[in-house]
Structure 1
Protein backbone atom coordinates (compact mmCIF):
# COMPACT_ATOMS: atom_id res chain seq x y z
CA UNK A 1 0.00 0.00 0.00
CA UNK A 2 1.54 3.36 -1.00
CA UNK A 3 2.21 5.93 1.69
CA UNK A 4 -0.33 8.75 1.92
CA UNK A 5 2.24 11.28 3.11
CA UNK A 6 5.74 12.52 2.41
CA UNK A 7 8.53 13.28 4.84
CA UNK A 8 8.29 16.92 3.77
CA UNK A 9 4.62 17.03 4.81
CA UNK A 10 5.51 15.49 8.17
CA UNK A 11 8.25 18.09 8.65
CA UNK A 12 5.76 20.91 7.99
CA UNK A 13 3.18 19.29 10.27
CA UNK A 14 5.65 19.15 13.16
CA UNK A 15 6.85 22.70 12.47
CA UNK A 16 3.30 24.11 12.58
CA UNK A 17 2.35 22.01 15.59
CA UNK A 18 5.34 23.35 17.53
CA UNK A 19 5.11 26.96 16.31
CA UNK A 20 1.34 27.36 16.56
CA UNK A 21 1.18 29.50 13.42
CA UNK A 22 1.98 28.89 9.79
CA UNK A 23 3.93 32.16 9.54
CA UNK A 24 6.28 31.25 12.40
CA UNK A 25 6.68 27.69 11.10
CA UNK A 26 7.55 29.09 7.65
CA UNK A 27 10.32 31.18 9.19
CA UNK A 28 11.76 28.18 11.07
CA UNK A 29 11.91 25.87 8.07
CA UNK A 30 12.68 28.65 5.58
CA UNK A 31 9.71 27.91 3.33
CA UNK A 32 6.91 30.22 2.20
CA UNK A 33 3.68 30.23 4.21
CA UNK A 34 1.50 29.28 1.22
CA UNK A 35 3.70 26.22 0.59
CA UNK A 36 3.26 25.03 4.18
CA UNK A 37 -0.47 25.79 4.18
CA UNK A 38 -0.94 23.86 0.95
CA UNK A 39 1.11 20.89 2.21
CA UNK A 40 -0.89 20.68 5.46
CA UNK A 41 -4.20 20.86 3.62
CA UNK A 42 -3.10 18.15 1.19
CA UNK A 43 -1.96 15.96 4.10
CA UNK A 44 -5.35 16.32 5.79
CA UNK A 45 -7.05 15.37 2.53
CA UNK A 46 -4.81 12.36 1.94
CA UNK A 47 -5.21 11.09 5.51
CA UNK A 48 -8.92 11.89 5.62
CA UNK A 49 -8.37 13.55 8.99
CA UNK A 50 -8.51 17.13 10.25
CA UNK A 51 -5.20 17.84 11.93
CA UNK A 52 -5.64 21.46 13.00
CA UNK A 53 -8.37 23.78 14.16
CA UNK A 54 -7.91 27.15 12.45
CA UNK A 55 -8.50 30.19 14.67
CA UNK A 56 -9.00 33.46 12.83
CA UNK A 57 -5.97 35.67 13.55
CA UNK A 58 -5.00 33.39 16.45
CA UNK A 59 -3.07 30.60 14.73
CA UNK A 60 -3.78 26.87 14.77
CA UNK A 61 -4.17 24.19 17.42
CA UNK A 62 -3.93 20.45 16.95
CA UNK A 63 -7.09 18.39 17.06
CA UNK A 64 -7.01 15.28 19.32
CA UNK A 65 -6.39 13.13 16.28
CA UNK A 66 -3.90 15.68 14.97
CA UNK A 67 -2.00 15.49 18.25
CA UNK A 68 -1.58 11.73 17.86
CA UNK A 69 -0.41 12.14 14.26
CA UNK A 70 1.91 14.97 15.36
CA UNK A 71 3.57 12.77 18.00
CA UNK A 72 3.97 9.88 15.58
CA UNK A 73 5.36 12.21 12.90
CA UNK A 74 8.03 13.45 15.32
CA UNK A 75 9.06 9.86 16.01
CA UNK A 76 9.20 9.03 12.28
CA UNK A 77 11.38 12.06 11.57
CA UNK A 78 13.63 11.18 14.51
CA UNK A 79 14.08 7.64 13.18
CA UNK A 80 14.75 8.95 9.67
CA UNK A 81 17.47 11.24 11.02
CA UNK A 82 18.93 8.25 12.85
CA UNK A 83 19.05 6.37 9.55
CA UNK A 84 20.95 9.27 8.00
CA UNK A 85 23.39 9.24 10.90
CA UNK A 86 23.88 5.49 10.48
CA UNK A 87 24.57 5.89 6.76
CA UNK A 88 27.09 8.65 7.46
CA UNK A 89 28.80 6.46 10.04
CA UNK A 90 29.08 3.57 7.58
CA UNK A 91 30.45 5.85 4.86
CA UNK A 92 32.96 7.61 7.09
CA UNK A 93 34.31 4.74 9.18
CA UNK A 94 35.94 1.39 8.47
CA UNK A 95 33.90 -0.87 10.69
CA UNK A 96 31.20 -3.47 10.25
CA UNK A 97 30.65 -6.20 7.67
CA UNK A 98 32.20 -6.43 4.22
CA UNK A 99 31.71 -9.33 1.83
CA UNK A 100 34.58 -10.00 -0.58
CA UNK A 101 34.29 -12.28 -3.60
CA UNK A 102 37.26 -13.72 -5.46
CA UNK A 103 37.70 -15.52 -8.75
CA UNK A 104 38.02 -19.23 -8.01
CA UNK A 105 41.51 -19.45 -9.54
CA UNK A 106 42.68 -16.47 -7.51
CA UNK A 107 40.91 -17.05 -4.20
CA UNK A 108 43.20 -19.78 -2.76
CA UNK A 109 46.29 -17.66 -3.39
CA UNK A 110 45.30 -14.16 -2.29
CA UNK A 111 41.98 -13.91 -0.43
CA UNK A 112 42.82 -15.48 2.93
CA UNK A 113 46.05 -13.50 3.39
CA UNK A 114 44.37 -10.24 2.40
CA UNK A 115 41.54 -10.94 4.82
CA UNK A 116 43.98 -11.67 7.65
CA UNK A 117 46.02 -8.51 7.09
CA UNK A 118 42.91 -6.35 6.61
CA UNK A 119 41.28 -7.58 9.83
CA UNK A 120 44.57 -7.02 11.66
CA UNK A 121 44.59 -3.40 10.52
CA UNK A 122 40.86 -2.88 11.10
CA UNK A 123 39.75 -4.91 14.12
CA UNK A 124 36.14 -3.69 13.82
CA UNK A 125 35.83 -5.11 10.29
CA UNK A 126 33.87 -8.33 9.76
CA UNK A 127 35.05 -9.94 6.51
CA UNK A 128 33.17 -12.68 4.67
CA UNK A 129 34.86 -14.46 1.76
CA UNK A 130 33.10 -16.00 -1.24
CA UNK A 131 34.48 -17.46 -4.45
CA UNK A 132 33.12 -18.24 -7.88
CA UNK A 133 33.45 -17.80 -11.61
CA UNK A 134 33.39 -14.38 -13.26
CA UNK A 135 29.68 -14.82 -13.96
CA UNK A 136 29.10 -15.75 -10.30
CA UNK A 137 30.96 -12.68 -9.07
CA UNK A 138 29.12 -10.31 -11.40
CA UNK A 139 25.78 -11.79 -10.32
CA UNK A 140 26.70 -11.46 -6.65
CA UNK A 141 27.72 -7.83 -7.18
CA UNK A 142 24.43 -7.12 -8.94
CA UNK A 143 22.41 -8.69 -6.15
CA UNK A 144 24.49 -7.00 -3.41
CA UNK A 145 25.65 -10.37 -2.07
CA UNK A 146 29.24 -9.09 -2.12
CA UNK A 147 30.63 -5.57 -1.78
CA UNK A 148 33.77 -6.07 -3.84
CA UNK A 149 35.23 -8.73 -6.14
CA UNK A 150 38.88 -9.65 -6.70
CA UNK A 151 38.92 -10.62 -10.36
CA UNK A 152 40.34 -10.09 -13.85
CA UNK A 153 39.66 -7.27 -16.32
CA UNK A 154 37.78 -9.57 -18.70
CA UNK A 155 34.10 -9.17 -19.66
CA UNK A 156 33.50 -6.38 -17.14
CA UNK A 157 30.05 -4.81 -17.83
CA UNK A 158 29.49 -1.06 -17.91
CA UNK A 159 27.62 -0.99 -14.60
CA UNK A 160 30.66 -2.41 -12.77
CA UNK A 161 33.63 -0.25 -11.79
CA UNK A 162 37.01 -1.98 -12.14
CA UNK A 163 40.18 -0.67 -10.50
CA UNK A 164 43.37 -2.29 -11.78
CA UNK A 165 45.91 -3.61 -9.28
CA UNK A 166 48.57 -5.61 -11.10
CA UNK A 167 49.28 -7.02 -14.55
CA UNK A 168 49.80 -10.79 -14.63
CA UNK A 169 51.65 -12.20 -17.65
CA UNK A 170 51.17 -15.84 -18.64
CA UNK A 171 53.55 -18.62 -17.60
CA UNK A 172 54.12 -22.16 -18.82
CA UNK A 173 53.98 -25.04 -16.30
CA UNK A 174 56.09 -28.11 -17.05
CA UNK A 175 57.05 -31.28 -15.25
CA UNK A 176 60.51 -31.00 -13.69
CA UNK A 177 61.86 -33.72 -16.00
CA UNK A 178 60.37 -32.25 -19.19
CA UNK A 179 62.85 -31.90 -22.06
CA UNK A 180 62.26 -28.13 -22.21
CA UNK A 181 62.22 -27.50 -18.48
CA UNK A 182 65.78 -26.12 -18.43
CA UNK A 183 65.08 -23.34 -20.93
CA UNK A 184 64.86 -19.76 -19.64
CA UNK A 185 61.51 -19.15 -21.35
CA UNK A 186 59.19 -20.60 -23.96
CA UNK A 187 57.05 -19.27 -26.79
CA UNK A 188 53.76 -20.65 -28.09
CA UNK A 189 55.64 -22.00 -31.12
CA UNK A 190 57.77 -24.08 -28.75
CA UNK A 191 54.58 -25.70 -27.46
CA UNK A 192 52.90 -26.40 -30.80
CA UNK A 193 53.37 -30.17 -30.76
CA UNK A 194 53.26 -30.63 -26.99
CA UNK A 195 50.25 -32.17 -25.20
CA UNK A 196 48.36 -29.55 -23.19
CA UNK A 197 46.51 -29.69 -19.86
CA UNK A 198 43.84 -27.00 -20.25
CA UNK A 199 42.45 -25.19 -17.23
CA UNK A 200 38.88 -25.55 -18.44
CA UNK A 201 37.16 -22.67 -16.66
CA UNK A 202 35.14 -19.77 -18.09
CA UNK A 203 37.41 -16.77 -18.69
CA UNK A 204 40.60 -18.85 -18.30
CA UNK A 205 39.64 -21.24 -21.10
CA UNK A 206 38.78 -18.49 -23.60
CA UNK A 207 41.80 -16.40 -22.60
CA UNK A 208 44.35 -19.17 -23.08
CA UNK A 209 42.81 -20.52 -26.28
CA UNK A 210 42.74 -17.02 -27.80
CA UNK A 211 46.54 -16.95 -27.57
CA UNK A 212 46.85 -19.96 -29.87
CA UNK A 213 44.22 -18.55 -32.22
CA UNK A 214 46.28 -15.38 -32.61
CA UNK A 215 49.40 -17.50 -33.12
CA UNK A 216 47.66 -19.32 -35.99
CA UNK A 217 47.41 -22.89 -34.67
CA UNK A 218 45.39 -25.04 -32.30
CA UNK A 219 46.91 -26.49 -29.13
CA UNK A 220 47.12 -30.25 -28.67
CA UNK A 221 44.70 -30.50 -25.74
CA UNK A 222 44.90 -33.94 -24.17
CA UNK A 223 43.60 -33.19 -20.67
CA UNK A 224 40.99 -30.77 -19.33
CA UNK A 225 40.22 -29.89 -15.73
CA UNK A 226 38.28 -27.15 -13.95
CA UNK A 227 40.49 -27.45 -10.86
CA UNK A 228 43.77 -25.56 -10.63
CA UNK A 229 45.27 -28.07 -8.18
CA UNK A 230 44.42 -30.98 -10.49
CA UNK A 231 45.98 -29.11 -13.40
CA UNK A 232 49.20 -28.67 -11.43
CA UNK A 233 49.29 -32.37 -10.54
CA UNK A 234 48.60 -33.50 -14.10
CA UNK A 235 51.39 -31.28 -15.41
CA UNK A 236 53.84 -32.32 -12.70
CA UNK A 237 53.23 -35.97 -13.57
CA UNK A 238 54.01 -35.47 -17.25
CA UNK A 239 50.56 -35.38 -18.87
CA UNK A 240 51.28 -32.13 -20.69
CA UNK A 241 52.12 -28.49 -20.22
CA UNK A 242 49.77 -25.96 -18.62
CA UNK A 243 49.31 -22.19 -18.80
CA UNK A 244 48.73 -20.00 -15.75
CA UNK A 245 48.85 -16.32 -14.87
CA UNK A 246 49.70 -16.61 -11.20
CA UNK A 247 53.09 -18.02 -10.34
CA UNK A 248 52.86 -19.06 -6.70
CA UNK A 249 55.76 -19.19 -4.28
CA UNK A 250 55.57 -22.96 -4.26
CA UNK A 251 56.55 -24.96 -7.35
CA UNK A 252 55.32 -28.18 -5.78
CA UNK A 253 52.14 -29.85 -7.03
CA UNK A 254 49.54 -31.05 -4.47
CA UNK A 255 50.85 -34.64 -4.74
CA UNK A 256 54.43 -33.55 -3.97
CA UNK A 257 55.81 -33.65 -7.50
CA UNK A 258 57.84 -30.64 -8.62
CA UNK A 259 56.87 -28.18 -11.33
CA UNK A 260 58.97 -25.87 -13.45
CA UNK A 261 57.28 -22.57 -14.31
CA UNK A 262 58.74 -20.51 -17.17
CA UNK A 263 57.79 -17.13 -18.67
CA UNK A 264 55.79 -17.29 -21.91
CA UNK A 265 57.35 -14.94 -24.44
CA UNK A 266 55.90 -13.34 -27.54
CA UNK A 267 52.85 -11.21 -28.28
CA UNK A 268 50.67 -12.58 -25.50
CA UNK A 269 48.23 -10.42 -23.58
CA UNK A 270 48.57 -10.36 -19.79
CA UNK A 271 45.47 -10.25 -17.63
CA UNK A 272 44.97 -7.49 -15.10
CA UNK A 273 43.96 -8.37 -11.57
CA UNK A 274 41.85 -5.74 -9.85
CA UNK A 275 38.94 -4.89 -7.58
CA UNK A 276 35.41 -4.63 -8.96
CA UNK A 277 32.38 -2.95 -7.41
CA UNK A 278 29.01 -1.78 -8.64
CA UNK A 279 29.09 1.69 -10.16
CA UNK A 280 28.10 4.13 -7.41
CA UNK A 281 28.58 7.75 -6.45
CA UNK A 282 29.38 6.67 -2.90
CA UNK A 283 31.75 4.06 -1.51
CA UNK A 284 31.32 3.03 2.11
CA UNK A 285 34.15 3.63 4.53
CA UNK A 286 34.92 -0.04 4.95
CA UNK A 287 34.97 -0.72 1.20
CA UNK A 288 37.26 2.26 0.65
CA UNK A 289 39.50 1.03 3.47
CA UNK A 290 39.68 -2.40 1.80
CA UNK A 291 40.66 -0.83 -1.54
CA UNK A 292 43.38 1.24 0.12
CA UNK A 293 44.63 -1.72 2.14
CA UNK A 294 44.97 -3.99 -0.91
CA UNK A 295 46.77 -1.27 -2.87
CA UNK A 296 49.18 -0.60 0.00
CA UNK A 297 49.77 -4.33 0.47
CA UNK A 298 50.73 -4.72 -3.19
CA UNK A 299 53.15 -1.78 -3.04
CA UNK A 300 54.90 -2.91 0.14
CA UNK A 301 54.66 -6.71 0.11
CA UNK A 302 53.55 -7.75 -3.35
CA UNK A 303 50.65 -9.98 -4.20
CA UNK A 304 50.05 -12.62 -1.50
CA UNK A 305 51.21 -16.07 -2.56
CA UNK A 306 53.21 -14.88 -5.54
CA UNK A 307 56.72 -16.14 -6.24
CA UNK A 308 58.26 -12.66 -5.93
CA UNK A 309 56.86 -9.30 -4.75
CA UNK A 310 55.41 -7.25 -7.60
Structure 2
Protein backbone atom coordinates (compact mmCIF):
# COMPACT_ATOMS: atom_id res chain seq x y z
CA UNK A 1 0.00 0.00 0.00
CA UNK A 2 1.32 3.45 -0.95
CA UNK A 3 0.79 5.80 2.03
CA UNK A 4 1.75 8.87 -0.04
CA UNK A 5 -0.98 8.84 -2.65
CA UNK A 6 -2.56 12.00 -1.22
CA UNK A 7 -0.31 15.04 -1.39
CA UNK A 8 -0.13 17.64 1.35
CA UNK A 9 -1.63 20.09 -1.13
CA UNK A 10 -4.80 17.96 -1.44
CA UNK A 11 -5.07 17.43 2.32
CA UNK A 12 -4.59 21.14 2.93
CA UNK A 13 -7.38 22.01 0.48
CA UNK A 14 -9.69 19.52 2.23
CA UNK A 15 -8.90 21.02 5.65
CA UNK A 16 -9.51 24.59 4.43
CA UNK A 17 -12.82 23.57 2.88
CA UNK A 18 -13.98 22.02 6.15
CA UNK A 19 -12.79 25.01 8.20
CA UNK A 20 -14.47 27.53 5.85
CA UNK A 21 -17.62 25.50 5.27
CA UNK A 22 -17.36 26.59 1.67
CA UNK A 23 -15.50 25.57 -1.46
CA UNK A 24 -15.31 29.17 -2.68
CA UNK A 25 -14.12 30.36 0.74
CA UNK A 26 -11.36 27.76 0.80
CA UNK A 27 -10.40 28.66 -2.77
CA UNK A 28 -10.09 32.34 -1.83
CA UNK A 29 -7.95 31.53 1.24
CA UNK A 30 -5.68 29.29 -0.81
CA UNK A 31 -5.64 31.59 -3.85
CA UNK A 32 -6.70 28.80 -6.18
CA UNK A 33 -9.71 28.14 -8.39
CA UNK A 34 -12.85 26.67 -6.72
CA UNK A 35 -12.64 23.76 -9.15
CA UNK A 36 -9.24 22.84 -7.66
CA UNK A 37 -10.73 22.66 -4.15
CA UNK A 38 -13.73 20.66 -5.40
CA UNK A 39 -11.35 18.25 -7.15
CA UNK A 40 -9.32 17.90 -3.96
CA UNK A 41 -12.43 17.03 -1.97
CA UNK A 42 -13.32 14.38 -4.53
CA UNK A 43 -9.79 12.90 -4.45
CA UNK A 44 -9.72 12.69 -0.65
CA UNK A 45 -13.17 11.08 -0.46
CA UNK A 46 -12.29 8.62 -3.21
CA UNK A 47 -9.09 7.65 -1.46
CA UNK A 48 -10.81 6.87 1.83
CA UNK A 49 -13.95 5.46 0.23
CA UNK A 50 -16.45 7.44 2.30
CA UNK A 51 -18.38 10.72 2.27
CA UNK A 52 -16.48 13.32 4.27
CA UNK A 53 -18.59 16.41 3.46
CA UNK A 54 -22.22 17.08 2.63
CA UNK A 55 -22.55 19.48 -0.30
CA UNK A 56 -25.36 22.03 -0.34
CA UNK A 57 -26.53 24.56 -2.90
CA UNK A 58 -24.36 27.62 -3.56
CA UNK A 59 -21.29 25.43 -2.90
CA UNK A 60 -21.73 25.37 0.85
CA UNK A 61 -20.46 22.22 2.57
CA UNK A 62 -20.79 20.61 5.98
CA UNK A 63 -18.29 18.08 7.23
CA UNK A 64 -19.56 14.67 8.31
CA UNK A 65 -18.32 13.31 11.66
CA UNK A 66 -15.68 11.35 9.73
CA UNK A 67 -14.73 14.49 7.81
CA UNK A 68 -14.36 16.53 11.01
CA UNK A 69 -12.21 13.81 12.58
CA UNK A 70 -9.99 13.62 9.50
CA UNK A 71 -9.60 17.41 9.33
CA UNK A 72 -8.55 17.41 12.99
CA UNK A 73 -5.83 14.86 12.20
CA UNK A 74 -4.66 16.76 9.13
CA UNK A 75 -4.30 20.12 10.92
CA UNK A 76 -1.19 19.27 13.04
CA UNK A 77 0.32 17.50 10.02
CA UNK A 78 0.07 20.70 7.96
CA UNK A 79 1.36 22.80 10.85
CA UNK A 80 4.36 20.47 11.32
CA UNK A 81 5.10 20.64 7.61
CA UNK A 82 5.00 24.43 7.71
CA UNK A 83 7.40 24.49 10.68
CA UNK A 84 9.81 22.10 8.93
CA UNK A 85 9.83 24.28 5.83
CA UNK A 86 10.47 27.44 7.84
CA UNK A 87 13.35 25.77 9.68
CA UNK A 88 14.75 24.54 6.38
CA UNK A 89 14.68 28.04 4.87
CA UNK A 90 16.34 29.38 8.02
CA UNK A 91 19.18 26.87 7.61
CA UNK A 92 19.87 28.13 4.11
CA UNK A 93 19.69 31.80 5.10
CA UNK A 94 21.35 31.97 8.50
CA UNK A 95 24.19 30.60 10.59
CA UNK A 96 22.37 28.18 12.84
CA UNK A 97 22.15 24.48 13.49
CA UNK A 98 24.89 21.87 13.87
CA UNK A 99 27.92 21.69 11.60
CA UNK A 100 29.35 18.16 11.33
CA UNK A 101 33.07 18.31 10.52
CA UNK A 102 35.35 15.39 9.79
CA UNK A 103 39.09 15.86 9.71
CA UNK A 104 42.06 13.78 8.71
CA UNK A 105 44.67 16.39 9.57
CA UNK A 106 46.99 15.41 12.42
CA UNK A 107 47.35 18.94 13.80
CA UNK A 108 43.82 20.20 13.11
CA UNK A 109 43.65 21.36 16.78
CA UNK A 110 46.25 23.97 15.80
CA UNK A 111 43.85 25.79 13.46
CA UNK A 112 40.26 24.52 13.63
CA UNK A 113 39.43 26.15 17.00
CA UNK A 114 40.45 29.57 15.62
CA UNK A 115 38.09 29.19 12.66
CA UNK A 116 35.18 27.80 14.67
CA UNK A 117 35.45 30.63 17.18
CA UNK A 118 35.12 33.16 14.35
CA UNK A 119 31.87 31.51 13.28
CA UNK A 120 30.57 31.28 16.83
CA UNK A 121 31.03 35.03 17.25
CA UNK A 122 28.60 35.51 14.36
CA UNK A 123 25.86 33.35 15.89
CA UNK A 124 25.25 31.77 19.27
CA UNK A 125 22.84 29.31 17.61
CA UNK A 126 25.73 27.28 16.20
CA UNK A 127 26.79 23.84 17.42
CA UNK A 128 29.80 21.85 16.21
CA UNK A 129 30.37 18.12 15.96
CA UNK A 130 34.01 17.29 15.18
CA UNK A 131 35.10 13.79 14.24
CA UNK A 132 38.67 12.66 13.66
CA UNK A 133 38.70 10.14 10.83
CA UNK A 134 40.78 8.81 7.99
CA UNK A 135 40.56 9.79 4.34
CA UNK A 136 37.97 7.21 3.27
CA UNK A 137 35.84 7.48 6.39
CA UNK A 138 35.70 11.24 5.95
CA UNK A 139 34.54 10.96 2.35
CA UNK A 140 32.04 8.21 3.13
CA UNK A 141 30.59 10.47 5.83
CA UNK A 142 30.12 13.24 3.28
CA UNK A 143 28.28 10.91 0.91
CA UNK A 144 25.98 9.36 3.54
CA UNK A 145 25.16 12.73 5.10
CA UNK A 146 26.73 12.18 8.53
CA UNK A 147 29.35 14.85 7.75
CA UNK A 148 28.77 18.27 6.21
CA UNK A 149 32.39 18.97 5.37
CA UNK A 150 35.74 17.27 5.81
CA UNK A 151 39.44 18.10 5.75
CA UNK A 152 41.69 15.37 4.49
CA UNK A 153 44.91 14.69 2.61
CA UNK A 154 45.59 12.66 -0.49
CA UNK A 155 44.29 12.30 -4.02
CA UNK A 156 42.21 9.12 -3.67
CA UNK A 157 38.76 10.68 -4.13
CA UNK A 158 35.37 8.96 -4.08
CA UNK A 159 32.79 9.74 -6.75
CA UNK A 160 30.38 12.42 -5.57
CA UNK A 161 32.88 14.31 -3.39
CA UNK A 162 33.90 17.83 -4.44
CA UNK A 163 37.18 19.20 -3.10
CA UNK A 164 38.99 22.53 -2.89
CA UNK A 165 42.76 22.68 -2.26
CA UNK A 166 43.80 24.14 1.09
CA UNK A 167 47.58 23.83 1.21
CA UNK A 168 50.54 21.85 -0.08
CA UNK A 169 52.32 20.29 2.87
CA UNK A 170 56.02 19.61 2.25
CA UNK A 171 57.71 17.00 4.45
CA UNK A 172 60.02 17.81 7.32
CA UNK A 173 62.22 15.80 9.68
CA UNK A 174 61.23 16.02 13.33
CA UNK A 175 64.27 15.64 15.59
CA UNK A 176 65.01 15.99 19.29
CA UNK A 177 66.96 19.08 20.23
CA UNK A 178 70.61 18.11 20.49
CA UNK A 179 70.46 15.53 17.69
CA UNK A 180 73.41 15.66 15.30
CA UNK A 181 71.09 16.70 12.43
CA UNK A 182 69.04 19.21 14.42
CA UNK A 183 71.31 22.17 13.65
CA UNK A 184 70.87 21.92 9.87
CA UNK A 185 68.81 24.48 7.95
CA UNK A 186 67.54 21.83 5.51
CA UNK A 187 67.95 18.08 5.10
CA UNK A 188 67.62 15.47 2.37
CA UNK A 189 66.23 11.98 2.78
CA UNK A 190 69.72 10.58 2.34
CA UNK A 191 70.61 12.31 5.62
CA UNK A 192 68.15 9.98 7.36
CA UNK A 193 69.94 6.87 6.18
CA UNK A 194 70.63 4.61 9.21
CA UNK A 195 68.74 7.03 11.47
CA UNK A 196 66.08 5.28 13.61
CA UNK A 197 62.60 6.32 12.43
CA UNK A 198 59.31 6.68 14.30
CA UNK A 199 56.57 6.24 11.68
CA UNK A 200 53.13 7.82 11.83
CA UNK A 201 51.40 4.75 10.44
CA UNK A 202 47.97 6.05 9.49
CA UNK A 203 46.08 5.54 6.20
CA UNK A 204 47.61 7.83 3.54
CA UNK A 205 50.30 9.16 5.91
CA UNK A 206 52.10 5.84 6.38
CA UNK A 207 52.04 4.96 2.70
CA UNK A 208 53.10 8.50 1.80
CA UNK A 209 56.22 8.41 4.02
CA UNK A 210 57.18 4.94 2.87
CA UNK A 211 56.78 6.14 -0.71
CA UNK A 212 59.10 9.09 -0.08
CA UNK A 213 61.84 6.80 1.21
CA UNK A 214 61.32 4.42 -1.71
CA UNK A 215 61.49 7.27 -4.25
CA UNK A 216 64.67 8.69 -2.74
CA UNK A 217 66.30 5.27 -2.51
CA UNK A 218 66.68 5.31 1.27
CA UNK A 219 65.68 2.33 3.40
CA UNK A 220 64.21 3.59 6.69
CA UNK A 221 65.15 1.98 10.00
CA UNK A 222 61.65 1.96 11.50
CA UNK A 223 61.87 1.42 15.27
CA UNK A 224 58.24 2.25 16.13
CA UNK A 225 54.92 2.63 14.32
CA UNK A 226 52.26 4.71 16.03
CA UNK A 227 48.84 6.11 15.22
CA UNK A 228 48.93 9.59 16.75
CA UNK A 229 51.06 12.64 16.09
CA UNK A 230 51.49 13.38 19.78
CA UNK A 231 52.93 9.91 20.42
CA UNK A 232 55.29 10.41 17.46
CA UNK A 233 56.44 13.73 18.92
CA UNK A 234 56.85 12.27 22.40
CA UNK A 235 58.90 9.31 21.17
CA UNK A 236 61.10 11.59 19.09
CA UNK A 237 61.52 13.97 22.02
CA UNK A 238 62.57 11.07 24.23
CA UNK A 239 65.33 10.21 21.76
CA UNK A 240 63.78 7.13 20.13
CA UNK A 241 64.52 8.43 16.63
CA UNK A 242 63.49 10.92 13.98
CA UNK A 243 60.12 11.23 12.20
CA UNK A 244 58.89 12.51 8.85
CA UNK A 245 55.76 14.66 9.13
CA UNK A 246 53.99 17.37 7.12
CA UNK A 247 52.07 19.58 9.55
CA UNK A 248 53.29 20.89 12.86
CA UNK A 249 51.55 22.30 15.93
CA UNK A 250 52.29 25.71 17.44
CA UNK A 251 54.57 24.38 20.13
CA UNK A 252 58.23 23.35 20.24
CA UNK A 253 57.62 20.82 23.02
CA UNK A 254 56.33 17.27 23.07
CA UNK A 255 53.72 16.07 25.58
CA UNK A 256 56.67 14.85 27.62
CA UNK A 257 58.13 18.36 27.73
CA UNK A 258 61.08 17.61 25.43
CA UNK A 259 62.29 20.26 22.98
CA UNK A 260 61.86 19.42 19.27
CA UNK A 261 63.12 20.83 16.00
CA UNK A 262 61.54 20.66 12.53
CA UNK A 263 63.98 20.65 9.61
CA UNK A 264 62.61 20.92 6.03
CA UNK A 265 63.25 17.92 3.76
CA UNK A 266 63.90 19.52 0.38
CA UNK A 267 63.76 16.44 -1.88
CA UNK A 268 60.33 15.04 -0.98
CA UNK A 269 56.96 15.53 -2.67
CA UNK A 270 54.30 17.47 -0.79
CA UNK A 271 51.08 16.05 0.60
CA UNK A 272 47.92 17.87 -0.51
CA UNK A 273 45.44 19.05 2.12
CA UNK A 274 41.91 19.71 0.81
CA UNK A 275 38.43 20.50 2.04
CA UNK A 276 35.64 18.35 0.68
CA UNK A 277 31.86 18.17 0.67
CA UNK A 278 29.19 16.24 -1.17
CA UNK A 279 28.50 17.48 -4.69
CA UNK A 280 25.63 19.93 -5.04
CA UNK A 281 24.58 23.20 -3.43
CA UNK A 282 25.48 23.23 0.30
CA UNK A 283 23.47 24.93 3.02
CA UNK A 284 24.73 28.39 3.88
CA UNK A 285 26.46 27.34 7.11
CA UNK A 286 28.60 24.81 5.24
CA UNK A 287 29.52 27.34 2.56
CA UNK A 288 30.41 30.03 5.12
CA UNK A 289 32.59 27.60 7.08
CA UNK A 290 34.38 26.43 3.95
CA UNK A 291 34.99 30.01 2.80
CA UNK A 292 36.26 31.01 6.26
CA UNK A 293 38.53 27.96 6.34
CA UNK A 294 40.06 28.76 2.96
CA UNK A 295 40.46 32.42 3.86
CA UNK A 296 42.48 31.43 6.93
CA UNK A 297 44.66 29.06 4.91
CA UNK A 298 45.43 31.92 2.53
CA UNK A 299 46.66 34.05 5.45
CA UNK A 300 50.27 34.24 6.73
CA UNK A 301 49.22 32.41 9.91
CA UNK A 302 48.76 29.19 7.95
CA UNK A 303 52.45 29.12 7.04
CA UNK A 304 53.24 28.30 10.69
CA UNK A 305 51.83 24.82 10.01
CA UNK A 306 54.72 23.86 7.73
CA UNK A 307 58.51 23.83 8.10
CA UNK A 308 60.14 26.01 5.48
CA UNK A 309 63.75 26.55 4.45
CA UNK A 310 65.11 29.84 5.80
CA UNK A 311 64.79 32.82 3.51
CA UNK A 312 67.97 34.44 2.16
CA UNK A 313 69.66 36.32 4.97
CA UNK A 314 67.63 34.48 7.61
CA UNK A 315 69.59 32.21 9.96
CA UNK A 316 68.24 28.99 11.42
CA UNK A 317 65.40 26.69 10.43
CA UNK A 318 61.72 26.92 11.22
CA UNK A 319 60.74 25.27 14.44
CA UNK A 320 57.66 23.20 15.32
**TM-score with structure 1 length normalisation?**
0.82
Q: Is the 8 A contact 1:200 1:225 kept in 2?
A: yes
Q: Is the 8 A contact 1:4 1:47 kept in 2?
A: no
| Residues 109/30 of structure 1: CA separation in 2 closer, same or farther (3 Å cut) | same
**Separation in 1, partners of 2:123, 2:305:** 24
**Separation in 1, partners of 2:122, 2:37:** 51
Counterpart in 2 of 1:292? 291
Counterpart in 2 of 1:77? 78
**Separation in 2, partners of 1:61, 1:49:** 15
Q: Does 1:279 align with 2:279?
A: yes
SS in 1 for 2:305: coil
**Separation in 1, partners of 2:29, 2:109:** 62
Structure 1 spans left out of the alignment, 5+ residues: none
Match of 1:25 among 27, 38, 54: 27
Q: Deviations over 1:187-246 (max 9, x none)?
A: 223323333211111121011112223334542322211121221222234332211111
Q: Does 1:175 align with 2:159?
A: no
- What does 1:1-310 correspond to in 2, within 5 Å? 2-3=3-4, 5-14=6-15, 16-17=17-18, 18=20, 20-21=22-23, 25=27, 29-30=31-32, 33=35, 37-55=38-56, 58-59=58-59, 61-64=61-64, 65-103=66-104, 105-266=106-267, 268-283=268-283, 285-300=284-299, 302-303=301-302, 306=305
Calculate the aligned-residue CA RMSD, in Å.
Answer: 3.3
**TM-score with structure 2 length normalisation?**
0.79
Structure 2 spans left out of the alignment, 5+ residues: 309-320
**Separation in 2, partners of 1:59, 1:258:** 88
Kindly tell me the number of residue pairs found equivalent between the two proteins: 305
Q: Which stretch of the first structure deviates more once superposed, 23-32 or 299-308?
A: 23-32
Q: Is the 8 A contact 1:22 1:37 kept in 2?
A: no
**Separation in 1, partners of 2:119, 2:23:** 55
Counterpart in 1 of 2:315? none
| Residues 253/79 of structure 1: CA separation in 2 closer, same or farther (3 Å cut) | closer
**Separation in 1, partners of 2:299, 2:183:** 32
Q: Is the 8 A contact 1:169 1:271 kept in 2?
A: yes
Q: Is the 8 A contact 1:113 1:304 kept in 2?
A: no
Q: Is the 8 A contact 1:13 1:70 kept in 2?
A: yes
Q: Which stretch of the first structure deviates more once superposed, 128-137 or 83-92?
A: 128-137
SS in 1 for 2:249: coil
SS in 2 for 1:100: strand
